[in-house]
Amino acid sequence: MVSNTQSISQPAATSYGEGSIRVLKGLEPVKQRPGMYTRTDNPLHIIQEVIDNAADEALAGFGKKIKVTLHADGSVSVEDDGRGIPFGLHPEEQAPVVELVFTRLHAGGKFDKGQGGAYSFSGGLHGVGVSVTNALSTRLEVVSHREGKRAAIVFAGGDVTEPLVVRALEAGERKQGTTVRAYPDGKYFESSQYPMHELRHLLRSKAVLMPGVSVTLTDEKSRDTQTWQYKGGLRDYLMQELASDPVIPVFEGSGFAGKKDDNFAEGEGAAWCVAFTEDGANVRESYVNLIPTTAGGTHDSGLRDGLFQAVKSFIELHSLLPKGVKLMPEDVFARASYVLSAKVLDPQFQGQIKERLNSRDAVRLVSSYVKPALELWLNEHVEWGKKLAELAIKAAQTRQRAGQKVEKRKGSGVAVLPGKLTDCESRDIALNEVFLVEGDSAGGSAKMGRDKETQAVLPLRGKVLNTWEVDRDRLFANNEIHDISVAIGVDPHGPQDEPDLSGLRYGKICILSDADVDGSHIQVLLLTLFFRHFPKLIEAGHIHVARPPLFRLNAPARGKKPASKQYALDERELAAMIDKLRKDGVREGAWSVSRFKGLGEMNAEQLWETTLNPDTRRLMPVQLGAMDALQTTSLMTQLMGKGEASARRELMELHGDSVEVDV
């Protein structure tokens, strides 16, 4: 404490003035924090950015060949026969366009959507792609063949080292296309080795998604060359990957919006191929604008929803459902293998490496094409439809039997559930979730907006007791804590105990509080309760925190995009959304922003769409981070202990200036 006071009384040591603010220019932010822009375990992702650009040319209808070469010196070159990157002077920046593309974070041909832009649909979307490749390479060479000329430029660490040289094409030289050769800088990556399985899978998937385009990989060290070209597209690929034969013929189709579509932009939609098998591992691959979304996302949810709704309506039409059986989406989806390729005009991804699609509209987009197509197919092939219905009903019966076993084990002497708990209908803890909601008004919206089948709501009045130093025997003196324990069906316990979790009533216990300071406090008090007195629930992955948005942005129609409502978690996300609107050419101030003061302000529909709907919400699992249980306990004691005021003051003095508090 003394040393800290001394440092505060010496302003010269920690002077903070105009000169303290450092502005990172150009590609400096990428070099400072590469992990924010790309994966740093190996250089594959920065090479993928170059491959994606070549694929975008083929997707736009230019170019039929992509060649990737792993050179013996560790560099990688990507060659395409597209239009070639433009190398004339940019009208505003007065610098060669090819230079801007590789040296500016937000420069590219993919921002002008639906306004005669170079690309209507593309995977490269954030405008940081190949400039990140450049920033993290010791050398990067670009050669562009275009309009009868050849242009070459060389970079190192993101800076131009050999300026642009343009000359006329010689006899026999190729007419058009781009070649990029990158030398990844080892200091930014944990390993300089490329994961070959991942790279081959990436290149093969590009060939699958672009029938007729040939993709070649050459490894100079092993002298091995592979070429992929699929004339049959998704079906050929899926049939090769399946572990067992489908029980019904493969269901494939596609649907894309036309010019007169009121809901979606022209060209948006999806192509899919789905196979149902009785055993073996499922094959599930999805893509957005040719980018592999390994963590799935809202387009996968749209496929699941479309399949479920179609099968459900077929079962109802033919009265196939046995009495007492309730069909859930997972019952239909459990044995489905699929390849899904979605086209989304303005996709929002989770994170810069685009592993998961977050665009809320994609659920409706994919579902609206899959559902009618499958309904039609099932009713044209009733026998196959009945076979699929049988598969789904069997899965539902297995699930319900498993749930009933748990019910019997805990049936005797169960406590009376709290009166303010609005329970769900299902008894399957794999699907059930309970929301601990701050306040009665938010609880009311949550009760109206929830899925009654699987979602329960327990409103909490006021702030929960700080239980860090409360004895376990005294916990139930507090009504709120008593109600939480009885509702979830597990008794308080310690880290060394072996509690009986067979009575657990919900697979997910979700803390749902306002996105303000009071809400954060309630969240911390509940996390304290679970960490101190229900640690096995955290260990087993049952505790989650729901993240409601703070802002709603009403965006006007722009180009092909209809007017839309977007939700932002915080000011940073809101700023990014507004920035995107400006890039789309929306007039300043044509959008409107409203701020939610709390959950109680949201109506049931908004709360469902942003916070409760499993397809579009953001739900964070609670788990131990970089610190182990002992270190976490020590820090929690510092934060929540009654006799720790001086330690908390020290923390605030150390970190107070780096926290922005929205009071």
Catalytic amino acids? 438, 514, 516, 518
Is 65 annotated in a binding site? The answer is no
| Strand stretches in 60-213, DSSP E | 65-70, 76-80, 137-146, 149-156, 159-168, 177-184
129 annotated ligand-binding residue: yes
Which residues make beta-bridge pairs with 287? Answer: 292, 341
SS3 504: coil
CA-nearest of 204, 373, 195 to 290 is 204
Helices (H), 411-469: 440-449
- Of 398, 402, 253, 247, the closest CA to residue 336 belongs to 247
- Under a CB-based contact definition with an 8 Å cutoff, are residues 65 and 229 in contact? no
Q: List the beta bridge partners of residue 152.
A: 143, 165
Quote the CA–CA distance of 63 and 176 in Å, as a whole number: 9
Instruction: State the CB neighbour count (10 A cutoff) for residue 390.
Output: 13
559 known member of a binding site: no
E-only strand ranges, 356-487: 356-357, 433-438, 455-460
Q: Is 503 annotated as a binding residue?
A: no
Question: Shortest CA distance to 475 belongs to which of 460, 492, 497?
Answer: 492
Task: Please tell me whether 53 is known to bind a ligand.
Answer: yes
Q: Are strands 214-219 and 65-70 parallel, antiparallel or unpaired?
A: parallel
Please return the burial class of 397, using the count of CB atoms within 10 Å of its CB with bins 0-12, 13-18 and 19+.
middle
**16 assigned ligand-binding residue:** yes
Instruction: Provide the b/e sequence for 437-464 (b: ≥16 CB within 10 Å).
Output: bbbeebbbbbbebbeeebbbbbbbeeeb
Outline where 411-490 has alpha helix (H): 440-449, 479-488
Q: Is residue 124 annotated as involved in ligand binding?
A: yes
Q: Give yes or no for a contact between 343 and 121, defined as CB atoms under 8 angstroms apart.
A: yes
3-state secondary structure of 157: coil
For the beta carbon of residue 277, count every other beta carbon within 10 angstroms.
Answer: 19
d(CA 451, CA 221): 56
Whether the CB-CB separation of 179 and 155 falls below 8 Å is answered with no
Whether residue 127 is annotated as binding a ligand: the answer is yes
The answer on whether 506 is annotated among ligand-binding residues is no
Cβ–Cβ < 8 Å for 358, 298: yes
Query: How far apart are alpha carbons 663 and 640 in whole angstroms?
Result: 20
Pair of tokens at residue 626:
């970089």
Return all residues near 547 (Cβ < 8 A) that are at least 6 apart. Answer: 515, 569, 611, 617, 618, 619, 620
Query: 509 pairs with which residues across the strands?
Result: 434, 543
Please indicate if the annotation marks 379 as binding a ligand.
no
How would you classify the pairing of strands 269-276 and 251-256?
Answer: antiparallel
Q: How far is CA 663 from CA 7, 517, 640, 641, in A?
A: 28, 6, 20, 23
CA atoms within 13 A on the CB side of 496: 1
Q: Is 109 annotated as a binding residue?
A: no
Provide φ and ψ at 176, rounded to 5°: -150, 160
Which strand ranges, in their side-by-side order, compose the sheet holding 159-168?
Answer: 159-168, 149-156, 137-146, 177-184, 76-80, 65-70, 214-219, 224-228
Laid out side by side, the sheet with 592-595 consists of 564-568, 551-555, 592-595
**Annotated binding-site positions for ATP:** 16, 53, 80, 124-130, 354
**Annotated binding-site positions:** 16, 53, 80, 124-130, 354
